[in-house]
C-alpha cells in the first residue's frame, strides 16, 4: 500500500518550466514517492509501468469525456464558456466520433471499419516511397552546412506520407498542416484560451474542408485509405458523415504529429548518446529494436487518459467513479521496476524495448503504430548511416507541449 504524500510538497504540475524543459526528474519523484497521485486539479496521475499497463487495459474505464464528473472537465467548461458559445456551444462538432474518444460498442464497430483500410501489408508497401522521400531530403542537405532535422525531414515526411496514404487532393496541404498543429493542443490537460480559440478555428476550417473533400473522393475513388474509409462496410454498416470526418482528422493528427516527435526526439537522444548512434549505424540488425528503444526512452506521446466507471483501488488508493486518470506513459517507460537500473539510459539493443506503452495498450492501442515505426526506422537509420559524424549545431527548441512532447527545431551538422 502506498502512502499519500503532502500535495503541497509534491504534485503533478505540467506547467512548471522545469517540467516543460525535462519532465523525467519530476515524474521520477512521483513514481518513487506517490505513484498513484491525486492532483489538486481533480485528476489522478499514474506513473508506474504495472499500474499504467493495467489501467489502459481495464474494461471498467472509459475514454468518453461525458463520463467525467467535475474536476478538470467542469473547469474547462467554465473557463471556455464564452468561446464555446461563440463557436456553436454544445452543438459544435468536436471530434467526439473519433475512435480515440469512443467506448465499445461504437469503438469496436468503427475501428473494425477503419482497420480494413489500414492494414500492416498496406503500410509495408509504403517503404520504398518513404525511403525515396528520405533519400531526396538527405541528398539536398548533404554538404550544404548546418540543417534542421525537424524542418527538413521530421515535419514534412510524415505529413506527406499520411496525405498520400489518405489520398487527399493536392493544393491544401499547408492549411491542413497548420490546422492539425493547432488541434493537437487540445490533447494537453491544460490549455490557454488563445490555443483553444485556435483549435476551434482549426476544427471548423478542417470540417468545412472535409465536407468538400469526401464528395470529391466518392466521385474520384482510388487505391487509398480515404477511398477505403468512404467505401468501408461490414455487415451493412458504414461510417456516418461525422464518423468519417472525425477519423480523417484523427489520422492526420495521430499519423503526423506523433511521428514528427518520434523522429525529432529520437535523433536528439542519439546525438546526445553518440556511442548508441554509432552502434546502430554500424549494425542494421538493430533497426527494429532501436526504434522501439527510442519510443521508450523519450515518448512522443507522454500521456493517455482514462475515466473510471466504477470505484477503482490502485496500491491502496481509492479512485471514485467518473474520475479522470492520466496514465503517464513516459514515466512508465522509464520505470526501473520494469526496465531495471538502466531505465534512464539509451540502449538501442534493449531486447524488451517493444514492451513500452508509448502506443497505449488494450483496445485503444495505436492504429498507426506500424506506420510510425516504419517512418522512424527509415528516417533515422538513413540519417545516421548517411551522416555518421552528425552532431548538434545549436540548441534544440522544444515544442512546449505536454502530451505530444517534441521539438520544433533540431539543428545539426556533419
- Residue 138's closest CA among 381, 375, 380, 383? 383
| Inter-residue contact 265 to 286 (CB < 8 Å) | no
Query: Element (H or E) spanning 326, and its range?
Result: strand 324-328
313: enclosing H helix or E strand: strand 312-314
Q: How far apart are CA 300 and CA 204, in angstroms?
A: 26
Phi, psi dihedral angles at 307 (to 5 degrees): -120, 125
80-88 — which CB contacts under 8 Å span 24+ positions?
80/193, 80/196, 83/193, 83/196, 83/197, 83/200, 87/200, 87/204
pLDDT at 95: 60
Q: Are 74 and 66 in contact (CB under 8 A)?
A: no
The pTM score is: 0.90
Show pLDDT as tens, one digit a residue, over the chain (414 residues): 444 444 446 889 898 999 999 999 999 999 999 999 998 877 899 999 999 999 999 999 999 988 998 655 555 565 666 666 666 655 444 567 889 899 999 999 889 888 877 788 888 889 999 999 999 999 999 988 999 999 999 999 998 898 888 888 776 667 877 888 788 888 887 788 888 888 888 888 988 888 888 888 889 899 888 888 888 766 677 888 888 888 888 887 777 889 999 999 999 999 999 999 999 999 999 998 999 999 999 999 999 999 999 999 999 999 999 999 999 999 999 999 999 999 999 999 999 999 999 999 999 999 889 999 999 999 999 999 999 999 999 999 999 889 999 999 999 998
Q: Is 366 helix (H, G, I), strand (E, B) or coil?
A: coil
pLDDT of residue 75: 56
**45: three-class secondary structure by DSSP:** strand
Q: Which uninterrupted H or E stretch holds 97?
A: none
- Please spell the DSSP secondary structure of 106-164, one letter per residue: HHHHHHHHHHTTS-HHHHHTTHHHHHHHHHHHHHHHTTSS-EEHIIIIITHHHHHHHHH
Spatial neighbors of 66 by CB under 8 A, at least 6 apart, are none
Amino acid at each position: 500500500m502506498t502512502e499519500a504524500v503532502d500535495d503541497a510538497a509534491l504534485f503533478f504540475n505540467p506547467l512548471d518550466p522545469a517540467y516543460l524543459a525535462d519532465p523525467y526528474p519530476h515524474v521520477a519523484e512521483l513514481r518513487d514517492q506517490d505513484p498513484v497521485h491525486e492532483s489538486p486539479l481533480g485528476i489522478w496521475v499514474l506513473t508506474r509501468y504495472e499500474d499504467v499497463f493495467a489501467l489502459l487495459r481495464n474494461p471498467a474505464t472509459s475514454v468518453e469525456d461525458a463520463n467525467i464528473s467535475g474536476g478538470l472537465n467542469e473547469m474547462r467548461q467554465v473557463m471556455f464558456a464564452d468561446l464555446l458559445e461563440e463557436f456553436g456551444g454544445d452543438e459544435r462538432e468536436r471530434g467526439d466520433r473519433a475512435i480515440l474518444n469512443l467506448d465499445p460498442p461504437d469503438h469496436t464497430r468503427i475501428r473494425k471499419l477503419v482497420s480494413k483500410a489500414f492494414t500492416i501489408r498496406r503500410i509495408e508497401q509504403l517503404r520504398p516511397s518513404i525511403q525515396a522521400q528520405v533519400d531526396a531530403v538527405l541528398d539536398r542537405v548533404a554538404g550544404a552546412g548546418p540543417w534542421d532535422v525537424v524542418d527538413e525531414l521530421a515535419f514534412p515526411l510524415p505529413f506527406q506520407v499520411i496525405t498520400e496514404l489518405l489520398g487527399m487532393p493536392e493544393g491544401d496541404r499547408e492549411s491542413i498542416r497548420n490546422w492539425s498543429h493547432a488541434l493537437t493542443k487540445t490533447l494537453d490537460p491544460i490549455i490557454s484560451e488563445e490555443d483553444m480559440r485556435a483549435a476551434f478555428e482549426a476544427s471548423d476550417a478542417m470540417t468545412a474542408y472535409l465536407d468538400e473533400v469526401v464528395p470529391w473522393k466518392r466521385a474520384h475513388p482510388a487505391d487509398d485509405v480515404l477511398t477505403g474509409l468512404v467505401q468501408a462496410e461490414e455487415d451493412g454498416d458504414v461510417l456516418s458523415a461525422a464518423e468519417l470526418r472525425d477519423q480523417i482528422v484523427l489520422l492526420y493528427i495521430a499519423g503526423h504529429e506523433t511521428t514528427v516527435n518520434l523522429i525529432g526526439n529520437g535523433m536528439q537522444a542519439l546525438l546526445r548518446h553518440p556511442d548508441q548512434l554509432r552502434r546502430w549505424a554500424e549494425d542494421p540488425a538493430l533497426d527494429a529494436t532501436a526504434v522501439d528503444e527510442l519510443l521508450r526512452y523519450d515518448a512522443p506521446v507522454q500521456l493517455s487518459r482514462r475515466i473510471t466507471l466504477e470505484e477503482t483501488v490502485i496500491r491502496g488508493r481509492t479512485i471514485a467513479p467518473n474520475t479522470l486518470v492520466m496514465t503517464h506513459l513516459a514515466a512508465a517507460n522509464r520505470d526501473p521496476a520494469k526496465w531495471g537500473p538502466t531505465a534512464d539510459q539509451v540502449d538501442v539493443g534493449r531486447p524488451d524495448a517493444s514492451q513500452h506503452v508509448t502506443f497505449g495498450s488494450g483496445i485503444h492501442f495505436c492504429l498507426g503504430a506500424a506506420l510510425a515505426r516504419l517512418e522512424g526506422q527509415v528516417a533515422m537509420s538513413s540519417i545516421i548511416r548517411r551522416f555518421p559524424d552528425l552532431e548538434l549545431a545549436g540548441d534544440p527548441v522544444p515544442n512546449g507541449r505536454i502530451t505530444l512532447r517534441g521539438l520544433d527545431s533540431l539543428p545539426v551538422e556533419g
